Structure 1
Amino acid sequence: MTSSGKWLLYDCGYSHKPVCSNITGQHVSFVYINSLMTWKEAQSYCREHLTDLAIPRNLSENEKIRALIPAGVSGWIGLYKVTWKCSTDYSNGYWGAWPCDSRKPFICHHDPVPSTKQVVKVKLVGNSNLDLNDPAVLENLLKELKQKMKEQGVDTEIKLSWKKQQDGNVFYKEKKEEDQK
C-alpha cells in the first residue's frame, strides 16, 4: 500500500516496511514496522510478534493503515497476488475508492464450513447371495445407510463413501474359526 492508500502489485522479493495487524477480541489496531523486509519475511515477522500482516476490511481500516505509512513510501500489507484478483481491469494496477451507490464488480470471501472425516467399520450379517462388492449393491447400501442416519437425526449434509481394501474390494468374508485352524 502506498502512503496515499492505494494498493499496488510488487514482486514479493522486494523490500518494504510492513504494516502489521494486532487483533485482540473485536478490536484491531495496526502497527508500522520500520524495518525493510521481503513480503514473506514481513508476514513471518507480523505473525510472530503481533497477529498478521494488515488486511483492510473496509475504507476506515484502509485509512488507518494508510496514515501509518510515511509520505512517498510503500508498505507491505497482507494481500498477495495468488489469493486475490481485481475483478475490474485496471490497466495501471490501482484499486479505486468509489461512492457506495456505484455499481461495480466485487470480491467475496468465503470461509468454508470445517469438515471432519470419520472411518467406521461395518459388519454385515446374513445369508444373502448378493455380491457385496458389486458397484450397484454398494450404492444401494450407501443410500440405505444415509436414510437410517437421517432417521436417527444425523445431519443430512453427511457424505458417505466406501473405503477399498488393498485388493480393491470393500467387503470381504470373515473366516470362521474352524477355517483358520
Structure 2
Amino acid sequence: MTGIYILPSCFPQSYRIVRDAKTWTEAQRYCREKYTDLVTINSEEDMIRLSHLLWDDDDEVWIGLHSDFNHWKWSLKKEGFYKEGEAEFRNWNVNEPNADTDKDKSSVCVDIGTNGQWSDYFCRGSRWFICYNESSETKYIYLRKAMNWTDAQSYCRKHYTDLPSVRNITENKAIQNIVEGYSWIGLYRDPWKWSDGEVRHINSFNNWKAGQPEKTMNSCVTTTYSKWNTRLCNDEYAFACSVKVSKQTVKVMLTKSDFSGDLEEMQDEILEQFNQRLKDHGLEEFKLKWIKQPDGKIFHLKETEDQDEK
C-alpha cells in the first residue's frame, strides 16, 4: 500500500546550532554559505524551538538581530506608494534627530511642529496626531487626541488609512497648515534589524533579558536562558543558523507487517506515528499531512511484479 503526505506551505524555518565560536559577522557569513542566514525570531514559539536545541540553559549563541541605528521607516507600507527617493524625504529641525536610544532603550518616533519641521521623541510619549485618509479628497485629518505613537497608529488604521507619510515638501506644507502643536506623523526608528532583511515593526516580538538592551549602537544580539542580550559584534560565540524549507511531497510504502486493519480508518494513527519519529530525531518542527487522491482515498494497493506477470 502507498500513501502520500506533504509538508504544509506554512512550514517554518528549521534551526541548526554551530558550536564553533565566531564573531557575529563571521557567523553570518558561515550561515549564508552553508544554510540560509542567522536565525530570525518572530514569536515565543520560535524562541522555545531554538532553546530546545541548545545544550544547557546558560549556552549563549548569536541570533540574527543587530543594531540599525540610522534606519528610519514609515508606518504606511504600500507597494507603489513611494516613488524613487520619496521614502527618504526628511525635514528635520535644527539639531534633530537627537534622542538617545542608548540611554532610554526605546524606539523613537517623529512629530511635526507648527513650523513644519520634525523632531524625534520617544514613542511612548503623548501627542496629538494626523491621520492619512487615502479614500477621501481631504487627505489629512487632525486629531486633537493625546495618544502615544502606537495607539495613534492603531487609531488611524482603524478609522482611516494610516499615520501620514511625508514624501515631499508639498505634503509637508499641507500637514503644517493643520497642526496646532507637536503632532505625530508616520516616521519611526526601531534601532534593530534582522540579518535576513525581514522588516521589524515597532510592535515586533522582543525577548530582552531584564536590563537589556544594554547598548544599542554597534551591537549584536545573543540568546541565553531564552532571553536576548546585547554584545559587542566582535565577541565570539556559537551561533544559530536558519534553514528555509519549502513544501515537499513524499510517497511512502507500507507493508502488511507495518499495520493491520483498514489503513484509511487508521490514517490519523499512522500519521501520528510518523510525526513522533520525526520528533524523536530532533525534527519536531516538521509537520506532515496526508494528500487525498482524485478518488478520495489516501492509500492505494501497489501490485507486485509477480502479480503483474500473472
* TM-score for the superposition, normalised by structure 1: 0.45
Structure with greater proportional helix content: 1
* TM-score for the superposition, normalised by structure 2: 0.28
Q: Which has the higher contact order (CA 8 A, sep 6+)?
A: 2
Structure with greater proportional strand content: 2
